[in-house]
A and B are shown apart, each in its own frame.
Chain A
């Protein structure tokens, strides 16, 4: 990458065209120098991590940790650049040619699409790292107004008439898809005899009666949504700043962050009895890394996410660590105990879930359109 430090003082002294030319020359030369420095001498490396919005603070800290670790291990200087945005948008950037070495996104479907469309990583990417390539997890909880005036305790309360629910649009937001699937899964596990029964029941064997009850329920919940924002942060804004709605369905990490960041926040977190285990996955974009000569570093970067240090950092930033034993008990106290099911137990996999529920004319669309 080019690092440009234009010297603005030249504009003050010289005629414009002259100084522009000089500036361009200067920029190109210094760019080439940096390139030469990076790639010929091979002393310093740059990784690009394309991530989704809520991980901004976590990866800022993690990148610092990793650079120090890598430097002490190999003597090589490494800097990690971050790019944040909606999960789907980031995936499209990589498909369209963004040279990210690694992606750390909100849901596996987006990485599946990168594999399918760009073929820059193998289709079985999810089996390359422990815990289905999700080094940290989160879940879906509720944020309500102080004192919980509408007495919202669990999922069924969201379907009550007169309760206004705020969630982004599952068609445009990855987080909202987790919201929707959590609500659906809650009913399915209830109808099939509780969470434990899911351990013995294959997703294909879930009765149509349970599925149709879930559909009714999710429709009722989304009928209570007055504003469908495009993304998770926009929805949080609608709930917090605009004062609209009685309950916000959101990532647990975002809810905890909200309570910490907004002083005198007049909000409370309500943890439902059962929710979904949201697993934001990470993956190495192998072809990009090989081409840039960063393969080993990028691979180590992702592996480092599973170390006790990284797990502690994740927990500090409100992501649930997958190895809680390696994290200080005090930090873990932020997380309320919650019973969860995972996506595979009810929806087979992301591609199937996406096709059934969120594609055009899918179950979500039928809430609004009667095809």
Chain B
């Protein structure tokens, strides 16, 4: 009945069809696996669910995972913006090659990037050794984990900011400058607000990707309980003990947490883009 009503009201052709395939596809690919997660967790009961989530080890891993993901996403947002700026604004021979390089972390198996990073940043690695000499230990510390997450998150920021930058007309900047704005004011008042929604999208994607990352992190993390143990590793640990419900409980907890965070960021983003349209 709902479908018929909307069909009548909708002036767009193919609404029913497109709604149909979107819902079916999302249902099969996203919702069905997630619902089994919820189902498996529900066998644990509310008390059991909270007991699993509030154990010291799980809490510590949440804390670590969220902090390193946040740090990596913030660093990526900053440097991703700089790189996107370079790629869009500055003519340069061989730029296509650098442009293609950005996507490499997407294509590389995460275990490969993890092992490669560990080789370089381990205490006997080419960068790890000099860093160790000045007292900075990278591999097997949260710094190493952050590094792995920076690597896998970078393309998300660059690839979302790039199109927005391409759309940004140089006339806007020229107008601002000719009206007497300093270059800092031009950036702050004109460019930044225009790019903010895409920066937020890039940040969100990189952040979300980091929270669930396993392959690249386990090699560089050192996996010491309470210190460098990420949440995905705890899920694997539970599975190794054939504790399927415990594993799904942690996964569900993480999912709820990240969903809430993503929702907040999305709200922020829609607010900023509305403001942008109002300008």
A residues sitting closer than 8 Å to B (CB atoms) are 88, 91-92, 95, 113, 117, 169, 171-172, 226-230, 234, 237, 241-244, 354, 358-360, 365, 368-369
Known: A169-B223, A171-B241, A243-B124. A230 touches B233 (CB 8 A): yes
Q: Is the CB of A92 within 8 A of B241?
A: no
Bitwise, B237-261 to A at CB < 8 A (1) or not (0) is 1111111001000000000000000
B residues sitting closer than 8 Å to A (CB atoms) are 55-57, 115, 118-119, 122-125, 139-140, 218-219, 222-226, 233, 236-243, 246
In the A-B complex, the 9 residue pairs with the closest CB atoms: A368-B225, A242-B122, A243-B124, A88-B240, A227-B222, A228-B223, A171-B237, A172-B240, A113-B242
18 A–B contacts from the bound complex (CB under 8 Å) = A172-B237, A172-B240, A226-B222, A227-B224, A228-B224, A228-B225, A229-B223, A230-B223, A242-B122, A242-B123, A242-B125, A243-B124, A354-B241, A360-B55, A360-B243, A360-B246, A365-B57, A369-B225
The residues of A that contact B56 with a CB separation of less than 8 Å are: 369
Q: Is the CB of B241 within 8 A of A360?
A: yes
Interface centre among A113, A229, A237, A360 (most CB of B within 10 A): A360
In the bound complex, CA of A243 to CA of B240 (Å)? 28
Minimum distance in angstroms from A232 CB to a CB of chain B = 13
Known: A169-B223, A226-B140. A242 touches B118 (CB 8 A): yes
Q: Is the CB of A171 within 8 A of B240?
A: yes
Interface centre among B125, B222, B223, B240 (most CB of A within 10 A): B240
In the bound complex, CA of A237 to CA of B125 (Å)? 13
Minimum distance in angstroms from B246 CB to a CB of chain A = 7
The residues of A that contact B240 with a CB separation of less than 8 Å are: 88, 171-172
Further contacts, 12 of them, CB under 8 A, given A230-B223, A244-B123: A92-B239, A171-B241, A172-B240, A227-B222, A228-B225, A229-B218, A242-B118, A242-B125, A243-B122, A365-B57, A368-B226, A369-B56
In the bound complex, CA of A226 to CA of B242 (Å)? 27
The residues of A that contact B225 with a CB separation of less than 8 Å are: 228, 365, 368-369
Q: Is the CB of B237 within 8 A of A92?
A: no
Q: Is the CB of B222 within 8 A of A358?
A: no
Q: Is the CB of A230 within 8 A of B140?
A: no
Minimum distance in angstroms from A243 CB to a CB of chain B = 4
The residues of B that contact A91 with a CB separation of less than 8 Å are: 242
Q: Is the CB of B218 within 8 A of A227?
A: no
A88, A229, A354: the one contacting B239 at CB < 8 Å is: A88
Known: A243-B124, A358-B241, A360-B246. A172 touches B222 (CB 8 A): no
Minimum distance in angstroms from B122 CB to a CB of chain A = 4
Minimum distance in angstroms from A78 CB to a CB of chain B = 32
The residues of B that contact A92 with a CB separation of less than 8 Å are: 239, 242
Q: Is the CB of B119 within 8 A of A242?
A: yes
Q: Is the CB of B246 within 8 A of A234?
A: no
Minimum distance in angstroms from A246 CB to a CB of chain B = 13
In the bound complex, CA of A34 to CA of B93 (Å)? 54
The residues of A that contact B118 with a CB separation of less than 8 Å are: 242
In the bound complex, CA of A243 to CA of B132 (Å)? 14
Q: Is the CB of A230 within 8 A of B241?
A: no
In the bound complex, CA of A237 to CA of B115 (Å)? 10
The residues of B that contact A241 with a CB separation of less than 8 Å are: 119
The residues of A that contact B119 with a CB separation of less than 8 Å are: 241-242
Minimum distance in angstroms from A179 CB to a CB of chain B = 15
In the bound complex, CA of A161 to CA of B125 (Å)? 25
Q: List the A residue with the shortest CB-CB distance to B227.
A: A368
Q: Is the CB of B57 within 8 A of A369?
A: yes
Q: Is the CB of B57 within 8 A of A230?
A: no
In the bound complex, CA of A173 to CA of B77 (Å)? 37
Q: List the B residue with the shortest CB-CB distance to A112.
A: B242
The residues of B that contact A243 with a CB separation of less than 8 Å are: 122-124
The residues of A that contact B223 with a CB separation of less than 8 Å are: 169, 227-230
In the bound complex, CA of A26 to CA of B125 (Å)? 51
Q: List the A residue with the shortest CB-CB distance to B223.
A: A228
The residues of A that contact B122 with a CB separation of less than 8 Å are: 242-244
B55, B125, B236: the one contacting A172 at CB < 8 Å is: B236
The residues of B that contact A234 with a CB separation of less than 8 Å are: 218-219
Minimum distance in angstroms from B47 CB to a CB of chain A = 16
Known: A171-B237, A358-B241, A360-B246. A230 touches B218 (CB 8 A): yes
In the bound complex, CA of A243 to CA of B226 (Å)? 25
The residues of B that contact A368 with a CB separation of less than 8 Å are: 224-226
The residues of A that contact B124 with a CB separation of less than 8 Å are: 242-244
In the bound complex, CA of A171 to CA of B241 (Å)? 8
The residues of B that contact A358 with a CB separation of less than 8 Å are: 241
The residues of A that contact B239 with a CB separation of less than 8 Å are: 88, 92
The residues of A that contact B218 with a CB separation of less than 8 Å are: 229-230, 234
In the bound complex, CA of A330 to CA of B239 (Å)? 43
The residues of B that contact A229 with a CB separation of less than 8 Å are: 218-219, 223
Minimum distance in angstroms from B64 CB to a CB of chain A = 14
In the bound complex, CA of A172 to CA of B234 (Å)? 10
